[in-house]
Amino acid sequence: MLHLDGEITGVVHSSNVIVIGKSGVLKGQVKANKIVINGFFEGEMSVDSLEILSGGILNGNIVVKQLSIENGGKFNGSSKIIEKDEETTMVNVIEEKSQNAS
C-alpha cells in the first residue's frame, strides 16, 4: 500500500492500493488496483476500484470497474465504467478525447 500525504507529479503504476490522504496531492497518470482519495487528484486514472471519500477531489478522466463517491466527495471530469472482465487502460480515455475533439 502507498499512503500519500505529500505531493507527487508524474506517472504511478501499482498493483496494490494507493491512498491519497487529506493533505495528499497526486497529479499525472495513475494505474492501480485500488485508489482511495481523501485529498486531491488531477490527471488520468485507470483503476479497478475507486473510492472518493467525503474530503476527496478528483479532477480528470478515469477508466474504472467499480466507483464509489461518498457524500461530499467531488468528481469533475469524464468516466468510463467497464465490465469486470475488460482490461482497464488509459488508451480508452485518450481515444475518446481524440474522437470528441474531431
**How far apart, in whole angstroms, are the C-alpha atoms of residue 4 and residue 73?**
18
Report residues of the chain scoring pLDDT below 70: 85-102
Give the distance from CA 58 to its chain's centroid: 7
Q: Are 64 and 47 in contact (CB under 8 A)?
A: yes
**How far apart, in whole angstroms, are the C-alpha atoms of residue 85 and residue 102?**
30
